[in-house]
Amino acid sequence: MNIRNEIINITNSINNKSGYSSEILKTYDYGDLDKRDIAYIKKCVFTEIENRFFVDYVISKCSDLEINRLDKIVLEILRMATTEILFMKTADYAVVDEAVELAGSITRYKDYVNAVLREVCRINVDSEDLEDDIKFSINKDLLKMLNKSYSKKTVRKLLKSFFYKSDFVIKQNKLKENNLKINLENQGFALNDHPFLKDSFIVENPESIIDTKEFKEGKFLIQDGSCSLCAEILEPLENSIILDICAAPGSKSCNIQEITNNQSIIYCNDINQNKIARIKENVEKCAVKNVQYMNFDATTLQKDLINKFDRILVDAPCSATGVINKNPEIKLFRTKKDVENLVNTQRQILENCEKYLKKGGILVYSTCSLLKEENEENVEFIENRLHLKRKDIEFYGDKNEFIKLMPFQKGTQGFFISKFVKD
């Protein structure tokens, strides 16, 4: 198996929008490749996607042909090799030789690839004053939406944060474990208390943590800090009936039942039947009980659910702009039209959930988006169109109209949480 062929296969899957890069890289069949080769493939693919527009800019500077007229396979070979030359530690001559050999075996552009890559080895663009869309590899639509939502200073911090490695956060499952930190530290893991969540920890050396008995037995979940915060803000009570309308992969539902000590009934819904199996897997692993599973399109009203629920969590499908550092293709492909369609979907779901909520019930609306269109503007929609009353959320000792977590903050990625009550 040729690792550079595999790199091209994976980048083509991402280009075709076959799924998020994090999932594609995790589930791809690497055959009999050893761990070192797999790690190299993952790093090269991720780095190329993360820097796509900058890489294309460099190629265009070194090529006599317009980049949009290149054969797709030739372009992917050039992108892969240019990424290796600019960002990886492999020797330039080895990268060029491998890319030229690959080009000769599957295309008729061997000499062209050789000429371009030798120019790439010589070029220096560090002194050039590049536009932000090239420098940070973000499409102009999305950059414009960020500039609409934030000050220039904050946008610059966001653009830089898209290249940060996320903190590795785990959440103790108190249905099964009360001494997680001590037990993992005794095995050599370095854990720091999470800055704003109890029973959550940032792991400094997580490399083999999924191999531990504690993980396999569901004594903790690998979970960004924002997820368990949603469950806390929902204020689930014992003997209540709860709906998690877009529940996959089920970790928030597990958090909710942990808070109620399995004494509430939670309905977990997802439109994707395959994701229901993933929810069940997490629920069973975490010893969560009193769970009902549903599989319907949340944008379609279910009349039998009207006035049924005391609590509803709407963790809505969104642009996922808060998790770009995990899935960098988002900043390449997400458009204004995508966001408009997502907002329409979010509002259809919210309209239905308002009908499902009992009088006096609480609804929490959350997204992993950074955009006002999906966050603050939907808060206004919920208040003014659905007539739910917004409730302040206490966070770090202050009362907030909503919580917006930023990807440059410790222990979290970009996330938005708001809370409402039905009078």
Provide φ and ψ at 256, rounded to 5°.
-65, -45
For tokens 């932000």, the residue is 132
**248 belongs to an annotated ligand binding site:** yes
Question: Rounded to the nearest 10 degrees, how much is the dihedral formed by the CA atoms of 92, 56, 19, 230?
Answer: 100
Burial track 204-224 (b if 16+ CB lie within 10 A, e otherwise): eebeebeeeebbeebbbbebb
**228 belongs to an annotated ligand binding site:** no
**250 belongs to an annotated ligand binding site:** yes
One-letter amino acid at 92 equals: D
* 377, 407 contact by CB (below 8 A): no
What number of other Cβ atoms are within 10 A of residue 360's Cβ? 9
Please report which helix (H) or strand (E) contains residue 62, including its range. helix 52-62
**297 belongs to an annotated ligand binding site:** yes
**353 belongs to an annotated ligand binding site:** no
**91 belongs to an annotated ligand binding site:** no
Lookup: tokens for 101: 């050999």
**315 belongs to an annotated ligand binding site:** yes
**81 belongs to an annotated ligand binding site:** no
Catalytic residues: 368
In sequence order, what are the residues at sequence separation of 6 or more whose Cβ sits closer than 8 angstroms to the Cβ of residue 355? 301, 305, 306, 307
Give the C-alpha distances (Å, rounded to integers) separating 88 from 48, 77, 81, 370.
Answer: 10, 15, 10, 30
Give the C-alpha distances (Å, rounded to integers) separating 80 from 75, 93, 99.
Answer: 9, 14, 8
Query: How many angstroms separate the CA atoms of 280 and 218, rounded?
Result: 13
**277 belongs to an annotated ligand binding site:** no
DSSP reduced 3-state for 420 = strand
* 334, 162 contact by CB (below 8 A): no
Provide φ and ψ at 422, rounded to 5°.
-100, 110
Beta pairing partners, 312: 243, 363
**190 belongs to an annotated ligand binding site:** no
Nearest to 371, CA basis, from 148, 200, 113? 148
Q: What residue numbers does the annotated binding site cover?
A: 246-252, 270, 297, 315
Q: What residue numbers does the annotated binding site for S-adenosyl-L-methionine cover?
A: 246-252, 270, 297, 315
